[in-house]
Structure 1
Amino acid sequence: MNSFNQNFDELGVKISHHFGGKAYAKETIIPAGLRLDQHSHNFDHLSILASGSVIVSVDGVEAEHVAPKCITIEAGKRHSVTALTDAVWFCVHGTDCTDPELIDHELTHEKD
């Protein structure tokens, strides 16, 4: 499995940002075999596996999921996603931020 620490385009990852009514959904198309690196968020959020199958690791505990699936990730829990097949993954957050350039910085604990 490849770890996610390179350029999105080089890895075939596609990201789309969706904003509406103080809600934000980050849509990520993840190629099979790719792991999105661990991170944590400031608040609980929903993750929706729209298609494919993945392994989700939350604070070191792994679980396999097959779409369709909605998963709650608790605040402060380090988590990663490994695509077993090509997958479409949504992270859904409540936020006032509507800037795609700032949103990750606003929602994660990994601030500079």
Structure 2
Amino acid sequence: MNMDIDLLIKHHFSAGLYAKEMHLPAGHFAVTHKHKYDHISMLYRGIAIVKVGDVETEYVAPAFILIKEGQEHEVLAVDEITWFCVHETDEVDVEKIDKVVIAS
């Protein structure tokens, strides 16, 4: 289930790092995507199932998850979660950031 909900996205930037903060209600998910490089995600609050390829793993906050280069992944909120994706980039324009960090 992922209707048009407000994910309360916040963008955090610091010296070559970018963190995208999202809040997902229970039963909602962050859509499948991949990156051209390894990156770290953090489950700050709640319980989530992270699907990487065909493998699903349940995490309970706090948890750090390494997503390897080129792996399609999605995040399902078992209960309400706060999730951070952390990327190395010098891009600070929120209108361009997804084009830089998400592989097509």
Which residue number corresponds to residue 103 of structure 2?
109
1:87 aligned partner, one-letter code:
I
- Select which of 32, 44, 48 maps to 2:38: 44
2:84 aligned partner: 90
After superposition, the CA RMSD in angstroms is 1.0
Q: TM-score, normalized by length of structure 1?
A: 0.89
In 1, Cα distance between equivalents of 2:73 and 2:34: 6
SS state at 1:56 partner: strand
Matches within 5 A, 1:28-43: 28-43=22-37
Which residue does the alignment assign to 1:75?
A: 69
1:100 equivalenced with 2:97 (yes/no): no
Instruction: Give the share of equivalent positions with the same residue, in percent.
Output: 42
**CA distance in 1: counterparts of 2:65 and 2:76, whole angstroms:** 15
Q: Deviations over 1:12-71 (max 9, x none)?
A: 311000000100000001111101110001111000000000000001210000000000
* Counterpart-to-counterpart distance in 2, 1:11 and 1:33: 12
3-state SS of the aligned residue for 1:14? coil
Q: Which 10-residue stretch deviates more, 62-71 or 11-20? A: 11-20
Q: Which residue identity does 2:84 align to in structure 1?
A: F
Provide the residue aligned with 1:21 in structure 2.
15
| Inter-partner Cα distance in structure 2 for 1:18 and 1:90 | 10
Which runs of 5 or more structure 2 residues have no equivalent in the other structure? none
8 Å contact kept, 1:12–1:31: no
